[in-house]
Amino acid sequence: MQELVEVGKLGDIALGGMKLVKAGDVQVVVCNCDGNYYAVSRRCGHMNSPLEMGALDGTILTCAMHHAQFDVTTGEALNRPIPEYFGGTLPDELVNRLIHTEMLMRHISVCDIRTFPVKLRQDTIEGEVE
């Protein structure tokens, strides 16, 4: 068993909120899912985007970059990336680049993300993150 390190206090993270925590060389995102706390690796399993910039809905963490989704309880990747809607008329060159990028993104897999055990001790959130 790894040593537990403090990753926050109970009042630090609002319900449905997230917090980036650095513990040594490890960076994790601690998520408050209706009072249950989960810690996951900071980087998206698709293209390495910082997950704390995304959105948390229940236990589903959505990456802000390409909308890949992960279950914070297991780290499981739940979908492939979803391209952002660009609306309006785009120049032909930009449209060609977007189509090419979309074709490439379909061949980039989405890997599960790492999870870290979290325990509550009085008002402290501790995780096995080292």
Amino acid at 8: G
In the chain, the percentage of residues whose pLDDT exceeds 90 is 42
Residue-wise pLDDT tens digits, 73-127: 999 998 877 655 444 444 566 666 766 676 666 667 788 999 989 999 999 998 8
Rounded to an integer, the average pLDDT of 125-130 is: 83
pLDDT at 100: 64
Global confidence as pTM = 0.77
pLDDT at 83: 55
Q: What rounded mean pLDDT belongs to the chain? A: 83
Distance CA 27, CA 25 (A): 7
| SS3 sequence of 30-53 | EEEECCEEEEEECECCCCCCEHHH
In the chain, the percentage of residues whose pLDDT exceeds 70 is 77
pLDDT at 67: 81
Catalogue all structural domains in the chain, each as residue range(s) with its CATH number.
5-84+110-127 (2.102.10.10)
Residue-wise pLDDT tens digits, 42-79: 998 888 889 999 999 999 999 888 788 899 999 999 88
